[in-house]
A and B are shown apart, each in its own frame.
Chain A
């Protein structure tokens, strides 16, 4: 907390300092407190963290500024709708780093980036090589909504696209406070016990309260985390899930083969209240996977809120998505695009899902 406050202050301070700066020189402090100075706005960015690749595309409205990304960012883009919107993304190098975020410095140098983004909390081995190679680097950290906003903000700053990021941040703040205001009024006993399963097919992994983004949007959307006895992501047995007896189950979007049938066909999980009432939903895969923080997160919150508190929230998600995709990617979503992102074919008949269907 202290570090983040400090970082935030340092950041604000550097923003103030940079206002009168001459010409196009950009300086700011990254999320581990390192000052970063760029001679001119970054135009060739390589992003080793996964969600930031699509964020950069969203901030720029194109793929032109992205010259390298994590192989997993690329596979998410190819699997999801972003690959359809930006088919040229497939030509961007994904050899700059391994899936474990260890940079391949020579490959990085060959795409000639003027800024490399890397996680700031994964150890010196993945960070030092960038600096040793003389690359201009910016480090970001991950976990909370606040951190999510911060890494978007400084990325936009580096690209000198603050006019793009401010509306996005405003949008997040507005949606968040709109929802929060209503959920605050909901009595605790009206909030469904909600379970997010980060893994299912190969053994159940649940996510408990604490420093977790999933717990954040469960609470925001008007639910209580069913996995109250654990912190962070932990393996659990079906028996434990039965004991929690969740009223809503969210399935991750990471496991491609995972469908709601996994719950309905499991002899024990199908006995949970969520399964009996058909309140099992798989997280959508849009411009990026909707589970972790990314540029589309307000859509996640609206989707979650509609499902957890159908009596309170009636977001017109289809319209919101069209608006968001237009402004993020300059793309007009078709009805079938939306159906695909929201898995309407698979879970259209689930309880409270009718609101997401086209009229």
Chain B
């Protein structure tokens, strides 16, 4: 009798689910198509807009010549501006935006908290201190990148040690340790600024901390790109695992994950991304918060979708913001300030509508 009742419950729905699944995939495909168009539009805008006036037709001609005529000499000023100023800047902004967005999304999954960012783990303040220290020492380029990454990593290790109690690090202790370490490295940044030469390194530090792509070159790009790409790809490869890591630790373990170790792989990837980005363009905030949230509102919570979509939208957003930063006025508007200016209100709106929907 009991079994017969159970048979009644088995609903003949397996046919319908295939259909639903297809519709879901189609919806995703359309969303990714739109995101790609937005990215392409952003790149095109970045290519054509600038203080030095070059017509879009000429800009495209220059790019096509460059792409399809190997060994082309870049002699004209407009060619140099497109190929040596705008393109490396667009690519750097794209990689940085993608990396920061993906890093934010990954941390939000691992911390089961949609409000965390690299700031929380002390990674950004750590990397910032490394960069500032390098500037004070007169180190640039690879040395700055190395110090920035190392210092971000040190901050992360401190957080790890501080949060590790009885061989386990609970989320809340990690967050608290992150706050402590952030404050510590924030203080070290202030101290370095205090000790810096106002005629020499201080203005460089202040400007660098505000965040800017103004000095982007192919050289800087080759410096930062490996880390940005590596970290982003690592998180991209673990995007399904992020779903598991976003569960309660006990549950994640029962599904075969080892959250204690896997979390730190994610943290390491985030540190590589943030360290690389910070070392070439200073502190740029908000991307990691605003972009994943926007993506989740459009495309749902599954990190298999959220991560790649965040990468595309993050790239598009930072390219767009950086283009505004270099074109709106003759002076460079600090990119970090611009992303905050755009990011904070957008985030506020998202947050309100998000929780309003949730409460219903």
The residues of A with any CB-CB pair to B shorter than 8 Å are 50, 72, 75-76, 98-100, 198-199, 201-206, 208, 227, 229-230, 234-240, 242-243, 254-256, 267-268, 271, 289
- Would you give the 0/1 interface string for B190-218, flagging 1 where the beta carbon is closer than 8 Å to chain A? 00001111111011100110001011000
Considering only residues 302-337 of chain B, those with a C-beta below 8 Å from chain A are 326, 329-332, 334
- Chain A residue with Cβ nearest B204: A202
CA distance A240 to B199 in the complex (A): 24
Q: Which residues of A contact B200 (CB under 8 A)?
A: 254-256
Shortest distance between the CB of B322 and any CB in chain A (Å): 10
Q: Are B52 and A242 interface neighbours, CB within 8 A?
A: yes
CA distance A341 to B115 in the complex (A): 56
Q: Are A235 and B212 interface neighbours, CB within 8 A?
A: yes
Known: A99-B197, A205-B207, A267-B84. A237 touches B332 (CB 8 A): yes
* CB-based closest 8 A-B pairs: A234-B331, A229-B330, A202-B204, A235-B332, A243-B52, A271-B77, A240-B51, A243-B51
- Would you give the 0/1 interface string for B164-201, flagging 1 where the beta carbon is closer than 8 Å to chain A? 00000000000000000000000000000011111110
Shortest distance between the CB of B289 and any CB in chain A (Å): 26
Q: Are B198 and A99 interface neighbours, CB within 8 A?
A: yes
- Chain A residue with Cβ nearest B213: A237
Q: Is B239 in the interface zone, CB < 8 Å from A?
A: no
Shortest distance between the CB of B131 and any CB in chain A (Å): 11
Shortest distance between the CB of B200 and any CB in chain A (Å): 6
Interface size class of B (residues with CB under 8 A): 20 to 34
Q: Pick the contact of A202 from B52, B194, B208, B326 — CB < 8 Å?
A: B208
Q: Are A202 and B215 interface neighbours, CB within 8 A?
A: yes
4 additional contacts, CB 8 Å, given A50-B199, A198-B203? A199-B204, A202-B208, A229-B329, A229-B331
Q: Are B81 and A242 interface neighbours, CB within 8 A?
A: yes
Q: Which residues of B contact A202 (CB under 8 A)?
A: 135, 140, 204, 207-208, 215
The residues of B with any CB-CB pair to A shorter than 8 Å are 50-53, 74, 77, 80-81, 84-86, 135, 140, 194-200, 202-204, 207-208, 212, 214-215, 326, 329-332, 334
Shortest distance between the CB of A244 and any CB in chain B (Å): 8
Output the residue of B80, B86, B208 with the most chain A CB within 10 A. Answer: B80
Known: A100-B198, A243-B52. A230 touches B330 (CB 8 A): yes
Q: Are A239 and B326 interface neighbours, CB within 8 A?
A: yes
Q: Which residues of A contact B197 (CB under 8 A)?
A: 72, 75, 99
Ordered by A's residue number, 22 sampled pairs between the chains whose C-beta atoms are within 8 Å are: A75-B197, A98-B194, A198-B203, A199-B203, A202-B207, A204-B214, A204-B215, A227-B330, A234-B330, A234-B332, A236-B331, A237-B326, A237-B332, A239-B51, A239-B326, A240-B51, A242-B52, A243-B51, A254-B199, A254-B200, A256-B200, A289-B199
Q: Which residues of A contact B202 (CB under 8 A)?
A: 99
CA distance A291 to B142 in the complex (A): 32
Q: Which residues of A contact B74 (CB under 8 A)?
A: 267
Q: Are A239 and B212 interface neighbours, CB within 8 A?
A: no
Q: Which residues of B contact A243 (CB under 8 A)?
A: 51-53
Q: Pick the contact of A239 from B52, B140, B199 — CB < 8 Å?
A: B52
Q: Are B212 and A230 interface neighbours, CB within 8 A?
A: no
- Chain A residue with Cβ nearest B202: A99
Shortest distance between the CB of B88 and any CB in chain A (Å): 11
Q: Are B198 and A230 interface neighbours, CB within 8 A?
A: no
Shortest distance between the CB of A245 and any CB in chain B (Å): 9
Q: Pick the contact of A203 from B52, B85, B214, B329 — CB < 8 Å?
A: B214
Q: Are B51 and A203 interface neighbours, CB within 8 A?
A: no
Shortest distance between the CB of B104 and any CB in chain A (Å): 26
Q: Are B80 and A230 interface neighbours, CB within 8 A?
A: no
Q: Are A203 and B215 interface neighbours, CB within 8 A?
A: yes
Q: Which residues of A contact B204 (CB under 8 A)?
A: 199, 201-203
Q: Are A100 and B194 interface neighbours, CB within 8 A?
A: yes
Q: Which residues of A contact B215 (CB under 8 A)?
A: 202-204
Q: Which residues of B contact A235 (CB under 8 A)?
A: 207, 212, 214, 331-332, 334
CA distance A236 to B199 in the complex (A): 18
CA distance A240 to B85 in the complex (A): 11
Shortest distance between the CB of B128 and any CB in chain A (Å): 15
- Chain A residue with Cβ nearest B196: A99
CA distance A22 to B105 in the complex (A): 77
Q: Which residues of B contact A205 (CB under 8 A)?
A: 203, 207
Shortest distance between the CB of A333 and any CB in chain B (Å): 24
CA distance A267 to B87 in the complex (A): 14
Q: Are B85 and A239 interface neighbours, CB within 8 A?
A: yes
Known: A202-B140, A239-B50, A243-B51. A268 touches B84 (CB 8 A): yes
Shortest distance between the CB of B84 and any CB in chain A (Å): 5
Q: Are A271 and B329 interface neighbours, CB within 8 A?
A: no
CA distance A233 to B204 in the complex (A): 13
Q: Are B85 and A238 interface neighbours, CB within 8 A?
A: yes
Q: Are A267 and B80 interface neighbours, CB within 8 A?
A: yes
Q: Which residues of B contact A72 (CB under 8 A)?
A: 197-199
Q: Are A240 and B330 interface neighbours, CB within 8 A?
A: yes
Q: Which residues of A contact B214 (CB under 8 A)?
A: 203-204, 235-237
Known: A202-B208, A235-B212. A268 touches B77 (CB 8 A): yes
- Chain B residue with Cβ nearest A199: B203
CA distance A99 to B207 in the complex (A): 18
Shortest distance between the CB of B60 and any CB in chain A (Å): 18
Q: Are A230 and B203 interface neighbours, CB within 8 A?
A: no
CA distance A82 to B56 in the complex (A): 55
CA distance A265 to B200 in the complex (A): 22
Q: Are A230 and B331 interface neighbours, CB within 8 A?
A: yes
Q: Which residues of B contact A99 (CB under 8 A)?
A: 195-198, 202
CA distance A229 to B331 in the complex (A): 8
CA distance A99 to B192 in the complex (A): 12
Shortest distance between the CB of B163 and any CB in chain A (Å): 35
- Chain B residue with Cβ nearest A204: B214
CA distance A205 to B200 in the complex (A): 13
Output the residue of A99, A202, A229, A234 with the most chain B CB within 10 A. Answer: A202
Q: Which residues of A contact B51 (CB under 8 A)?
A: 237, 239-240, 243
Shortest distance between the CB of A322 and any CB in chain B (Å): 27
Shortest distance between the CB of A37 and any CB in chain B (Å): 32
CA distance A206 to B215 in the complex (A): 14
Q: Are A239 and B86 interface neighbours, CB within 8 A?
A: yes
